[in-house]
Structure formats: structure tokens, C-alpha cells
Structure 1
Amino acid sequence: MVNFRKYISGVTVLTAGFLLAQSTVSTVLYSQNYDNKTSLNLPSPVAYVEKAILSPKELVDISVNTMMTDPVLKNATWGFVVYDPKTKKIISSYNENTPLVPASTTKLLTTETAISMLGENYRWMTQLEYSGEIDENGVLNGNLYIVGSGDPSLGTNKAGAWSYKDIVSDFAGGMAREGIKKVNGDIVIQTALFKGNISALPENVVWLENNNYYLPVGTTKEINPANEKLIVKKSMNAAADKKFFYVSPYANKMVYAEKYEGNGTLTTKLPDAPAFLANSFRATLVKSGVAVTGKVTPKMTDATPEARKMIAAYKSPTLGDIIYYTNQRSDNSLAEALLKTVGFQKMGDQTSESGRVVVNNHLKDIAFDVEGLNYMDGSGLSRSNKVTPISQVKYLSSLMDEKFYKTYFNSLPIGGQSGTLKSMFLGEGNGQVFAKTGTLNKVKTLAGYLKTNSGRTLVFSLMVNNYAGSVGQVKSKMEKILQPTLDL
């Protein structure tokens, strides 16, 4: 909490300086050319006096104190801290120990856990294989297998990922190299990863993207819902609170939300990337003259697997590329897929619950301050997520010595230049603020690093919950709070 009393002794000096500055500035800048103007539009002399008398730290503290009574933030719950990672000391703060809803700054924890555990060069593999034998006429008497690994970018063009068309073309090229001209068998989709143990959504989660509720579980929003198998359209009962459900062909189990936010009745979707890829592949083969006698069929488990040979393999972009895309665009589906990936890699279980256990254990292992922490999902969509500003800055400071720090740092949007910060800090702070944004209804957050005018690297967290006014107004207030820190 900022103590304002220490500035009382400076008020007399400030007032005297203000009066002197008024006469001095007006004399120096006077010109007859301005006689007919109603306003000189000059910077306030107070600003010059403040900078001449007060230290940068004092200006930061005054900025924070001023915002306490601002109409936009006056009744909000908010916290702020700017921290020096070299001295490991707080420079200025307000409510730094208060647990707050972090929104998408939660992705800072998710993406760091993934890159720490898996490495920035980790890739997902999607393979085309075949069983049986190919006769002298190029007839495959066996099945084709598309074997996935839960690639969350499959077919999306995200982070440089290939489109479905490109992957299908590569797979078809592999078929030609093997001399396969006909398939007497099925195209089997075999991927248990991310497709089992689908359960009810957590309460109070806003699974909202592009006006549709969805399950961001290795999903790809570009898939046309018309190609999906919509088994259940509405709730089994005629309750007033209508709900829409979706069941994946991989698991004959209803996916639903007990509580959700938003206006209107929306659709819950679980786009099925492997199924879409397999059906597109089959259609392309048939169109090119390669007959397929069987059908596309999913196989979750196989007690007696056939011997298979690989035809082609598609590698996803690197995890470093995926994390860059995730943080720059605040991509919810990729963040949730990363959560499930670390859960599967560490515990052999692709559920969100396992992912949360892994992330929480990782944070404890690296001495994250878990006081006030409640990590509920990978994306930050849940309002049940909680974190304190001080824990965020100490965490971000600790990462500066990690071998993956450069990749992690480069994934963050840059003020006035890239990602979700492109429209903020267009003046002061342009190119100096490197941070993850977060936005929910009446929640706006920002956490990351900043380069001061003197060349220092500082770490900050600024989280505002339950503010008044518009998102634009609170963003403007956040910029005003952070601008004095650039002179530290």
C-alpha cells in the first residue's frame, strides 16, 4: 500500500515551484503570434515541476494514489506491483497480496509449464500407416491408419501448421510412393489422446469463442460444424434453461455445462480434427482414382493391434511456435490443449484434472508463491482462477534465468506493436512493454516485463476486477498507471 504522507513535506516546495514555473514558462514561451489564439495547448507546468522535484518512484506512487479515487477504479478490486528482478525488491505496489481473477494472464503459467517440461522443440506427430500386404497390382489388402497424438494445431494454419489440404496431399504422395492404387480395407483413426474421459465442464467457465460455446480440447475452430456428428441437439428435459450438447464420435458421452455465462442459447461443439482429416483424405483418394472399399472408423483401443508400416508422417510446428501463437493471440483452445498435453506426458491421463495437478505441482517445485493461487484451467476463462500480483512478478522474475526464457519472453505481445497489445501503449511505452493481456467481462489484466528509459528490465503485474465504465476506459487507466514506471 502506498503511503502518501511522506509527500506532505514536499507540497510547499511543489506549490512554490508551480507558481515560479507559471511565470517563467509563460514569459519564455510568449509570442505575439499567439495573441489571437484561445489556447496555447502547452503541457501543464505542474508536470515539469513534478518531474523536477519528485523522483521517478515517487511519481509512480502518486500515480497509483491518484487512481484510487478515479471513477473507473474507485469501486474496483485491483492490485499492482512493479518489481526489480535484480534487487528482488518491490519498487511500488498496491494490494499486491490480494488474490484476483487473472483472466488470460493464466496462460503465463500454462505455457511456461509446457515449455519447461517438454522443451521448445517438442512436436506432435500425425502418421499415416498401413497393415496387410500390397500385391503386384498395387492393391492394399489391409487397412490404412491415421495415428494422431493430440496435435492442437492440426489443419488450422496456426503457428505455421499445415492446412488439411496440405496434409492430405502429403499423405496421398506417400501412397503413390508405396505404389498403392486401391485399398481393400478401412481408414482407421487411432488416437486415444484427448478423446477419452470427457466429462462435465467446470462451473462458471465461459467457453465462448466466435459466438459459440466450445470445448477447447485439442480443437480447431476452422472445422465446419456441418462435418461433425451432432448427436444431441438440446437437453433431455424441457427445463427453462435450455442447454445444447455435443457428443464426439470418439466417445459416446454427452458433453454439457451445468452453468455458463452469455446471452442467448448457444451451441457446445467439439470439433473432431482427426475425423475431418480422415474423411478429407478418403474423399481425395477416391477422387484421384484410388478406390477405398471400406469406411472411416475410429478405434479408441485395440486389444490385438495389427502389424503396421509407416507411409508418411506430419510434424506439427514446434512447441515454441505454438506458445508464441498462444500468447500473442491469447488462443484459448491451444492453451487448453497444452494443459492436457502436460497432464498426459506426466501422468498418462489426458484429462483437465491431471493437467491441473501437473501444473500446480510444477509451480510448487519452482517455489511459486501459491498463497492465494487457484489454478482452474489452462486458458484463464474460468472466473474461479485466482492469483496475487506479487506471486506473478516473482514468478516471472524467476524465469529470467531459465534456458527457455528468450523463447518465452519473445512469445509475449509488445506494447503498440504486436499481438493483443498492439492497440495499447501507442505513445509512451511503445516497444517497451512485453506482457500477456487478460480480458473477461469487468476483468482486465496485464502482466509481464518492461524496459525502462534508462535500460532497466522490471517486472510488473496489474489486475483490475469489477471496474466501472468500458474496457477502453480501464485500458487507458492501466496505461496511466504504468507510464511513470518507464522513468524508473
Structure 2
Amino acid sequence: MKQVSSIPNVTKLFGRYYVFMILSLVLVNCKSAKISKHLHHTLNSSFYDNQFTGLMVYNPKTKDTVFSHNGNRYFTPASNTKIFTLYTALQYLPDQIPALKYAIDQDTLIVKGTGDPSFLHPYFKDSTALNFMKSFNAIQLVTANYHNEKFGPGWAWEDYDMYYSPERSAFPMYGNVATIWNTGQLATYPEFLKGKTTYSELNSRRDFNTNTFFYKITRKDTIEVPFVVDSTLLRQLWDDLLPGKVKIIPNTKTKTDQTLYSVASDSVYKRMMQVSDNFLAEQLLILASSTVSDTLDADKVRKSILDKQLNDLKQKPYWVDGSGLSRYNLFTPLSFVQVLEKLYADIPRERLFNFFPVGGKSGTIKSWYAGNTVPYVYAKTGTVGNVHCLSGYLLTNSGEVLIFSFMNNNYRTSTTKVKEQMQTVLEYLRDTY
């Protein structure tokens, strides 16, 4: 009798469960409808009349699109492009950065660059490769394996002397910049470039085509000025490091099939994302190409990942560089959300969020999107003239994680006002969803 009488109780239990699920779905739908109505009203306000704006918000747990406004339209992404670069690097690179490829032929070390940006970089100052090379009396540095231009397509020519626009190369040194400061007299890193640096009353920091550097006499700060990566300077820098040891050659028949590793890859990813370092982003794509071929070609690795790992993107981007310096780049909010979802699914949350700037705490959003007690935005900014974008992860007060991409193009107001509007929207999502 007890077994028979329990059947109605089981039925009641399942009935209550289904009722609960139906009610939950109704509540969720009502909440989503309310949020969608509010956000549509916001993005149709007069503030957005004279600009082009896209916003997509997605819940990776329920697989639901919470909101989409121009989510499938193409925008200039600026440094949001680095999200795709991060994904690519994580797909191709090992836990430590490949510093160089080499072979030993009797007493000669034959070296090919991999694009490692950390070698004597002003931030990383990694000397792994240098210490390895010091033990050899004869070194041949092969240069013809690099197949890209020194600048990306669509980069602004007048940025040639700005810190954010170093040249790309196969074997970067010192971040491909001269670091200059004033301690009563001029000082440089590397010290060798002090002899090429003078005070000036002008704003120019370097001659257009030569490695002659200028420090404005009224300055007090430290500046970084890209140098011209030409054969003359490379010979001089290597002779300064390893006098008489390094010979630069175009090609070799020797197979350089051994690899030396340098810094932890995550440290480079974090630096790239946190401070939006264009040089690191460009070199990471070159590095990724070094893992599949002796030829260093960022164009090929971009094409490869779009054709393979990212062949399911609903809107294929027009992607021309690693940093987002180029205005030729075109991405949709949906494509960023899809890649951010892939990252969220593949990488433990603590590690993933550690790469991104944190609202109110660190990186390029240190002064924005501060939570009341804990951070709620982990996202990458992208800013060039009349463009500001933000894509990443948002933590709601209810404990949900939302993926979003908020893209603004062609505005004529100040970027600060655009950020204020964005912050209002993201706070609403945090408090309401």
C-alpha cells in the first residue's frame, strides 16, 4: 500500500517541478523583455542620433541573446581586435614564448627569429636569448624568414614616431623603441642610442627615415620612440651586445629545428590586453606563425584561424592586423561575442579574467566601470579617433556572467561622454539582469 500510495506523490512532485520551470521561464522572458525594451529606448535616444552604435549582450549559460542592436553590422573595432589576437595566440603558442629557432654547426650558432617581443623589452627585459648566445663565439642571424611589411596596412604614416606604433620585425630588440628620459642629461635604453639622441625645441621625436632621435628640451617625462629597423642599426645593436660575434645573413641551408623559450606566454597576453600594447599584439601573430612554419607571416596565420578554428563565425571579419591600429579592420559585435564565448568555454575563469582590464581596478578601464564592492566588468577597450568600443564580460548582481560587445563609431562628441553613456547601460545590466 505504501508503494502504491507514493505514486500520486511522485506525480505531484514532477507536476510542481514542471510548474516551477514554466514559471521560471516566464519570469526570465519577462525580465529579458523588460531589459530589451529599456535598452532599445536608450539606444534610440537623441545622444545616439549622430553616431553608429552596436550592442550585443549574451548569456553563455542559457545560450540566450539578451539584447542585440546592430549586432550583425560591421564596425571599426580599434583595439578590440586584440581579442582575436589573444584567441589566436592561445590556439597556437605554448606556455612559454618561443624566443628563437636555432641549430649548432660545429662552433657556430645559427639563429632565426620567431618574432619574440620580450627580448630586452623595456617592460620584460628578458635576456634568455642573449645569455644563450653569449656562450658562442660565432653567431649567424638569419633575416630573410620574415615576410610582412614593417607597418600594417592602413596604419597612419604620421604615427611613425609615436610609442604605440613600433615597426614589426623577426627578431625585435628593446621593444623596437628607444626609451629616452632626462636626468639632468639625456639617458637612453639601450644606452647605445644615446649617441643618436639630442635635445630639441620641436615636437618631433625622430627623423622620418633615420635613427636620429629628439627629446623636447621642456619635457620631464620618459618617452618611447620607435626606431627604424634597418640592417645598419641591427648590426650596431648586436655589435654593442656581442662585439664581433654576430653576422647577419639573409638565408641558410642549415635546418634550424631547435627552439629556445623565454618568458611565460600569459605574461605577454596580460600586458597586451591590460595596457593595449600594439607592438605585443602584432608580434604575437608573428610568433603564432613561427609555430607552424619557418616563414614568419602574420597574414597567413590570420587566414588560417578564420578558415579553421573560427570558421563557424556568423559574420566573418575583415581582419588585417593584430593590434587594431588599422581602420581597414571590420568586425561585428556578434563576432566578438562568439570569440569571447569560445574563450569563456575553453579557459578557466580566473585565468581568463586575469588577461582583461578590470573596471575600476586596472588597465585601460581603471577609471571606469567601478563596482560598488567588487569589480563587475572585465573587458577590452578599443579607441581611435571617433571610435570607442568595449567588449568582454559583465558580472551581474544576481551572479550571472554576461558576454557583451558595445561598439561606437563616427561620433563627434567627446569619448568621455560616450563612456558615460556606456557605463550607464552596463550598470543597468548589472543591477537588473
TM-score (norm 1): 0.64
- Structure 2 distance, partners of 1:480, 1:202, is 35
Distance of aligned partners of 1:131 and 1:280 in 2 relative to their CA distance in 1, 3 Å threshold: farther
Aligned partner of 1:369 among 303, 308, 314: 314
Distance of aligned partners of 1:200 and 1:379 in 2 relative to their CA distance in 1, 3 Å threshold: closer
Q: Which has the higher strand share?
A: 2
What secondary structure is seen at the aligned counterpart in 2 of 1:400?
helix
Q: CA deviation at 1:210?
A: 5.9
- Structure 2 distance, partners of 1:81, 1:161, is 40
- Structure 1 distance, partners of 2:425, 2:235, is 49
Q: Does 1:92 align with 2:67?
A: yes
- Structure 1 distance, partners of 2:372, 2:70, is 25
Which residue number in structure 1 is paired with residue 200 of structure 2?
Answer: none
Q: Does 1:357 align with 2:303?
A: yes
Letter in 2 for 1:328: Q
Which residue number in structure 2 is paired with residue 114 of structure 1?
Answer: 89
- Structure 2 distance, partners of 1:361, 1:269, is 34
TM-score (norm 2): 0.71
Residue correspondence of structure 1 range 311-460 to structure 2 within 5 A: 315-365=261-311, 367-371=312-316, 373-403=317-347, 406-426=350-370, 431-460=375-404
Distance of aligned partners of 1:382 and 1:347 in 2 relative to their CA distance in 1, 3 Å threshold: same
2:313–2:335 CA contact under 8 A, matched in 1: yes
Which residue number in structure 1 is paired with residue 241 of structure 2?
Answer: 281
Distance of aligned partners of 1:169 and 1:433 in 2 relative to their CA distance in 1, 3 Å threshold: same
Distance of aligned partners of 1:275 and 1:122 in 2 relative to their CA distance in 1, 3 Å threshold: farther
Q: Does 1:75 align with 2:27?
A: no
Which residue number in structure 1 is paired with residue 162 of structure 2?
Answer: 211
Distance of aligned partners of 1:156 and 1:477 in 2 relative to their CA distance in 1, 3 Å threshold: same
Identity %: 28
Which residue number in structure 2 is paired with residue 151 of structure 1?
Answer: 116
Deviating more after overlay: 440-449 vs 470-479: 470-479
Q: CA deviation at 1:295?
A: 5.8
Q: Does 1:300 align with 2:275?
A: no
Which residue number in structure 2 is paired with residue 260 of structure 1?
Answer: none
1:79–1:389 CA contact under 8 A, matched in 2: yes
Write the deviation string for residues 338-369 of structure 1: whole angstroms up to 9, x where unpaired. Answer: 2122233335431232132123224434x222
- Structure 2 distance, partners of 1:392, 1:269, is 34
Write the deviation string for residues 105-128 of structure 1: whole angstroms up to 9, x where unpaired. Answer: 111111111112224x13213489
Deviating more after overlay: 321-330 vs 199-208: 199-208
Q: CA deviation at 1:268?
A: 7.4
Which residue number in structure 1 is paired with residue 25 of structure 2?
Answer: none
1:417–1:430 CA contact under 8 A, matched in 2: no
- Structure 2 distance, partners of 1:279, 1:452, is 56
Letter in 2 for 1:77: F
Q: CA deviation at 1:330?
A: 1.0
Aligned partner of 1:269 among 214, 228, 234: 228
Number of corresponding residues: 361
Q: CA deviation at 1:187?
A: 4.4
Q: Does 1:188 align with 2:140?
A: yes
1:78–1:464 CA contact under 8 A, matched in 2: yes
Distance of aligned partners of 1:275 and 1:411 in 2 relative to their CA distance in 1, 3 Å threshold: farther
Q: CA deviation at 1:379?
A: 0.9
- Structure 2 distance, partners of 1:332, 1:65, is 36
- Structure 2 distance, partners of 1:65, 1:187, is 66
1:339–1:352 CA contact under 8 A, matched in 2: yes
Write the deviation string for residues 19-65 of structure 1: whole angstroms up to 9, x where unpaired. Answer: xxxxxxxxxxxxxxxxxxxxxxxxxxxxxxxxxxx958635642552
